[in-house]
Amino acid sequence: MSLMSRRRRVFVDTPKGRRSAGFSVPENAVAADVSMALRSRGWSPYALRLDPEQHAWIALVMDWRRAA
């Protein structure tokens, strides 16, 4: 068994474009885990999707500064 577990990067899509959320999650993380991690970092995700080709989670978030 490998000592290093595989992880998935997390990205956020905003009206200003896609950027890294600045963290990764374990490969076995589910959407609820990713959502809670994003919320704890100040993001407001309203949709999540797993992109297996990029081995990453993509979150659609509300950009409250632009909406205001």
pLDDT of residue 68: 42
Per residue in 15-25, pLDDT (tens digit) is 788 999 999 99
Per residue in 25-51, pLDDT (tens digit) is 999 999 999 999 999 998 989 999 999
Query: Cα(53)–Cα(66) distance, rounded to whole angstroms?
Result: 30
